[in-house]
Amino acid sequence: LLIFIVSLFVEIIQGLLGIGASDIDDIILNYLGGVIGILGYKFLLFILRDEKKVHTAITILSAIGLPLILYYLFMVRMRF
């Protein structure tokens, strides 16, 4: 519920201030992304059984995953 409320608040502020584009799709996708993130965290916590190990796993996955995503995006961009 908190994820939905924060996303809705951001979209309302965008609409009122005319910053960016306010769209219902943004609210839905932000909510789904937040829920997927929470479920992923809970899944890792269930598997690893230790919060410190979960934080370490997320840090390692982020350190590996982010450069790979950026590299992939850069390579796709260069092909055009």
Domain of residue 2, residue span: 1-49
Same domain as 14, residue 29: yes
Residue type present at position 29? L
User: Are residues 6 and 19 in contact, defined by beta-carbon separation less than 8 angstroms?
Assistant: no
CA-closest candidate to residue 48, choices 39, 56, 38: 56
Alpha carbon distance 45, 35 (integer Å): 15
Q: How many domains does the chain have?
A: 2
Output the CA angle 78-79-80, nearest 5 degrees. Answer: 90
Same domain as 57, residue 40: no
Same domain as 32, residue 69: no
Same domain as 32, residue 17: yes
pLDDT score of 51: 96
Same domain as 41, residue 60: no
Q: What is the pTM of this model?
A: 0.72
What are the mean pLDDT values of the chain's consecutive 10-residue runs (80 residues total)? 93 88 89 95 95 95 89 75
Same domain as 56, residue 32: no
Same domain as 34, residue 55: no
